[in-house]
């Protein structure tokens, strides 16, 4: 009985805290804009020119960005200065 209660508490903590803290793998355009420090309009321009990695959700006009693809894109396009 006690261990079942503890398991329920762990599940609540996981769903309410841990799952909300871990970074999202896929982002919408507003989240990608904040993540990259670019305006939404700039990202739309990059999308229309296929200059940034993105995926279109089938059957809609919605687009999503995968964090690891954006990181790789930034690494390949950015210049490192010290």
Q: Give the CATH number of the domain where residue 29 resides.
A: 1.10.10
Q: How many domains does the chain have?
A: 1
> Can you tell me the distance from the alpha carbon of 2 to that of 9, in angstroms, rounded to the nearest whole number?
11
Q: Which of 48, 57, 58 is nearest to 28 (CA)?
A: 57
Residue 59 lies in a domain: yes
Instruction: End-to-end CA distance of the chain: give it in Å, rounded.
Output: 59
> Can you tell me the distance from the alpha carbon of 18 to that of 28, in angstroms, rounded to the nearest whole number?
21
What percent of the chain is modeled with pLDDT above 70? 79
* 43 C-beta neighbours (distance < 10 Å), count: 21
Print the domain residue range for 37: 23-82
Residue 45 lies in a domain: yes
Residue 67 lies in a domain: yes
Residue 64 lies in a domain: yes
Mean pLDDT, all residues of the chain: 83
**Confidence at residue 25, expressed as pLDDT on a 0 to 100 scale:** 85
pTM, full prediction: 0.66
């Amino acid at each position: 009985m006690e261990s079942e209660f503890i398991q329920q508490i762990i599940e609540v903590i996981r769903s309410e805290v841990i799952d909300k803290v871990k970074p999202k793998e896929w982002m919408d355009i507003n989240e990608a804009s904040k993540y990259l420090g670019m305006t939404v309009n700039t990202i739309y321009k990059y999308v229309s020119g296929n200059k940034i990695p993105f995926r279109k959700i089938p059957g809609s006009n919605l687009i999503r960005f995968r964090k690891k693809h954006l990181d790789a894109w930034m690494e390949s396009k950015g210049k490192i200065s010290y």
